[in-house]
């Protein structure tokens, strides 16, 4: 054990050792994680705490499910509609419902007090021929990942969406609020605007663990990696590492409960005193997020939000037309990098089975009506005519 841990840490560790219930253990471990000095010398200890935490959380959750008897309890499930489902998440009173109403024309309750919204409320945002389902979430509070406030159901609802819009009130302390939101979501396995570490773990029947690209390991060696894998009951595997990775990255790749999602931040109430300073502080603080300051009551900057929300969805809009007919008005949402054949498949299985070629107009075409094969990659806004 490194000698430079703090008395707070040691106290938390004692509490962990003497804790009886999983919940008390969880609280003590959280405290250990927050009080352990963050430097290279403690990286392995930090990792071990995180691993214990994640195991314990699963245990606690299972216990809760069992107590519920598999039924009853609150469910915040919202059926997906449209091209994608996007959560509006933030602290109580941050202006989520006001933004929902402004963007969709819906009329949900707005109040100057916390918890006006008590269950996820969906509404459709129309954007250039497609529909995006926005879900106004109840306010998120400190401790939600441990079951406080709307707890589990709220986090499950947020985990289920395709992308997240975080709202923070610029006039109070947006950096503090943002950090609280990220901490709570991270604790429940959400990773926002982070990419999955580029590590491939291919399980094999025998032969032990082979590591290709060992030179990419940062502050750890292949023995450490093998140990982690074995603890996770992976005894035979080929691990291919293609970029610099830490032990934490390996741990994340092994954790199948993690959800990686794209997100943007809306800074709300830009008309209130203190919001200018708040915005500056926020912009200096964030690295991986785009921040859009708005004032909903003065209708400032709201018009840019639909395209920015669209841009984090990883989808493109494709317009189809039957040969010799008009272009279909309604766009067909497709995953980014979809091909002409993918489009055919989505329209009708007959078009897919008998696909001969397609004609394409738009950004992916070298010229209007270019004749393309099945592998041709489409771009947002393309028009496609499929020939069989
Ligand atoms: N000055 C100002 N006030 C705003 C703005 N947007 C929202 N508000 C006010 O902030 C308060 C909270 O707004 P809501 O939209 O209900 O906030 P919420 O995040 O949905 O709140 P909960 O449902 O309780 O979590 C209300 O009094 C709104 O009128 C804004 O742009 N400027
Ligand atoms: Mg609300």
Task: Say what the pLDDT of residue 1 is.
Answer: 57
Q: Whose CA is nearest to atom 12 of ligand 1?
A: 93
Rg of the chain over CA atoms, in angstroms? 24
175 and 156 in a single domain? The answer is: yes
Q: Closest-lying ligand to the alpha carbon of 91? A: 1
C-beta of 121 in contact with ligand 1 (< 6 A):
no
Q: Whose CA is nearest to atom 4 of ligand 1?
A: 269
HSE, side-chain direction, 13 A CA sphere, residue 7: 0
C-beta of 115 in contact with ligand 1 (< 6 A):
yes
Q: What are phi and psi of 68, to 5 degrees?
A: -70, -15
Task: Say what the pLDDT of residue 256 is.
Answer: 82
128 and 249 in a single domain? The answer is: no
20 and 37 in a single domain? The answer is: yes
C-beta of 140 in contact with ligand 1 (< 6 A):
no
C-beta of 299 in contact with ligand 1 (< 6 A):
no
C-beta of 295 in contact with ligand 1 (< 6 A):
yes
Terminal CA-to-CA distance of the chain, rounded, Å? 69
What 3-state DSSP class applies to 186? Answer: helix
**Which residue, among 384, 379, 374, has the nearest Cα to 316 in the 3D structure?**
379
Q: Whose CA is nearest to atom 24 of ligand 1?
A: 115
Q: Measured in angstroms, how far is the CA atom of residue 183 from the centroid of ligand 1?
A: 23
Residue 99 Cα: closest atom of ligand 1: 15
C-beta of 186 in contact with ligand 1 (< 6 A):
no
Contact 172, 274 (CB under 8 A): yes
Q: Is residue 180 part of a domain?
A: yes
150 and 288 in a single domain? The answer is: yes
What CATH number is associated with residue 138?
3.40.50.300
What lies within 8 Å, CB to CB, of 6 at 6+ separation is 35, 37
What CATH number is associated with residue 351?
3.10.20.30
**Which residue, among 196, 203, 225, has the nearest Cα to 213 in the 3D structure?**
225
327 and 293 in a single domain? The answer is: no
Output the six-digit token pair for 205.
Answer: 């029947």
CA 228-233-236 angle, to 5 degrees, is 90
94 and 183 in a single domain? The answer is: yes
99 and 212 in a single domain? The answer is: no
C-beta of 96 in contact with ligand 1 (< 6 A):
yes
Q: Measured in angstroms, how far is the CA atom of residue 155 from the centroid of ligand 2?
A: 16
Contact 134, 125 (CB under 8 A): yes
HSE, side-chain direction, 13 A CA sphere, residue 382: 30
CA-CA distance, 210 to 348, in Å (whole number)? 45
Q: Measured in angstroms, how far is the CA atom of residue 182 from the centroid of ligand 2?
A: 19
Q: Is residue 162 part of a domain?
A: yes
Output the six-digit token pair for 19.
Answer: 């804790």
Which residue range(s) make up the domain with 383?
Answer: 316-387
Task: Say what the pLDDT of residue 43 is.
Answer: 85
Q: Is residue 78 part of a domain?
A: no
Q: Is residue 366 part of a domain?
A: yes
Segments of 290-381 assigned E as strands: 291-293, 315-320, 332-335, 357-361, 370-372
298 and 339 in a single domain? The answer is: no
Ligand 1 pocket test, candidate residues 89, 95, 279, most atoms within 8 A of CB: 95
HSE, side-chain direction, 13 A CA sphere, residue 119: 5
Q: Is residue 76 part of a domain?
A: no
Burial class (CB in 10 A: 0-12, 13-18, 19+), 299: exposed
pLDDT tens-place values along the chain, 388 residues long: 565 788 999 999 999 988 888 888 888 999 999 999 888 888 888 888 988 888 888 777 777 766 654 444 567 889 899 999 999 999 999 999 999 999 999 999 998 888 898 899 999 999 988 999 999 999 999 988 888 888 889 999 999 999 999 999 999 999 999 999 999 999 999 999 998 889 999 999 999 999 999 999 998 899 999 998 998 889 999 999 999 999 889 988 888 889 999 999 999 999 999 999 999 999 999 999 999 999 999 999 999 999 999 999 999 999 999 887 887 778 999 999 999 999 999 999 899 999 999 999 999 999 999 999 999 999 999 999 999 9
113 and 244 in a single domain? The answer is: no
**Which residue, among 117, 128, 197, 130, has the nearest Cα to 162 in the 3D structure?**
130
Number of domains comprising the chain: 4
Task: Say what the pLDDT of residue 146 is.
Answer: 84
Contact 187, 145 (CB under 8 A): yes
Q: Measured in angstroms, how far is the CA atom of residue 268 from the centroid of ligand 1?
A: 8
Would you give the DSSP letter of residue 313?
T
Domain boundary among 211, 233, 254: 254
Q: Whose CA is nearest to atom 7 of ligand 1?
A: 95
Q: Is residue 156 part of a domain?
A: yes
Ligand 1 pocket test, candidate residues 98, 154, 166, most atoms within 8 A of CB: 98
Q: Whose CA is nearest to atom 30 of ligand 1?
A: 269
Q: Angle of helix 247-254 relative to helix 222-231, nearest 10 degrees?
A: 30
265 and 343 in a single domain? The answer is: no
Task: Say what the pLDDT of residue 289 is.
Answer: 97
C-beta of 118 in contact with ligand 1 (< 6 A):
no
Q: Whose CA is nearest to atom 6 of ligand 1?
A: 95
Q: Is residue 73 part of a domain?
A: no
Task: Say what the pLDDT of residue 71 is.
Answer: 44
CA-CA distance, 269 to 300, in Å (whole number)? 10
Task: Say what the pLDDT of residue 352 is.
Answer: 93
Q: Measured in angstroms, how far is the CA atom of residue 169 from the centroid of ligand 1?
A: 9
Q: Is residue 169 part of a domain?
A: yes
Unique residue bearing structure tokens 């970029």:
243
């Amino acid at each position: 054990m490194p000698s430079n841990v703090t008395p707070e840490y040691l106290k938390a560790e004692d509490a962990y050792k003497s804790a009886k219930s999983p919940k008390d253990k969880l609280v003590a471990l959280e405290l250990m994680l927050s009080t352990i000095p963050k430097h290279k010398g403690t990286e392995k200890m930090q990792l071990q705490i995180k691993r214990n935490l994640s195991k314990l959380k699963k245990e606690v959750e299972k216990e809760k499910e069992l107590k519920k008897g598999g039924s009853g309890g609150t469910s915040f499930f919202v059926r997906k509609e449209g091209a994608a489902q996007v959560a509006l998440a933030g602290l109580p009173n941050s202006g989520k419902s006001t933004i929902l109403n402004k963007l969709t024309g819906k009329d949900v309750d707005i109040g100057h007090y916390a918890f006006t919204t008590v269950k996820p409320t969906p509404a459709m945002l129309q954007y250039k021929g497609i529909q995006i389902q926005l879900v106004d979430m109840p306010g998120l509070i400190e401790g939600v990942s441990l079951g406080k406030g709307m707890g589990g159901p709220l986090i499950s609802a947020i985990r289920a969406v395709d992308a997240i819009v975080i709202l923070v009130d610029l006039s109070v302390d947006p950096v503090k609020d943002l950090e609280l939101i990220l901490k709570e979501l991270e604790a429940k396995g959400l990773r926002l605007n982070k990419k999955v570490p580029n590590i491939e773990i291919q399980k094999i029947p025998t032969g032990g663990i082979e590591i290709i690209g060992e030179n990419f390991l940062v502050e750890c060696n292949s023995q450490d990696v093998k140990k982690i894998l074995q603890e996770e009951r992976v005894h035979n595997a080929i691990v291919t590492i293609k970029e610099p990775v830490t032990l934490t990255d390996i741990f994340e790749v092994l954790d199948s409960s993690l959800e990686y999602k794209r997100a943007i931040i809306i800074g709300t109430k830009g008309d209130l005193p203190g919001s200018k300073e708040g915005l500056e502080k926020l912009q200096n603080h964030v690295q991986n997020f785009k921040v859009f300051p708005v004032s909903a009551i003065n209708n400032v900057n709201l018009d840019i939000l639909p395209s920015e929300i669209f841009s984090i969805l990883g989808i493109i809009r494709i317009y189809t037309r039957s040969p010799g007919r008009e272009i279909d008005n309604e766009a067909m949402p497709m995953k980014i990098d979809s091909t002409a054949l993918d489009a055919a498949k989505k329209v009708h299985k007959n078009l897919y089975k008998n696909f001969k070629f397609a004609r394409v107009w738009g950004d992916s075409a070298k010229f209007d009506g270019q004749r393309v094969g099945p592998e041709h990659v489409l771009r947002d806004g393309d028009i496609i005519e499929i020939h069989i």
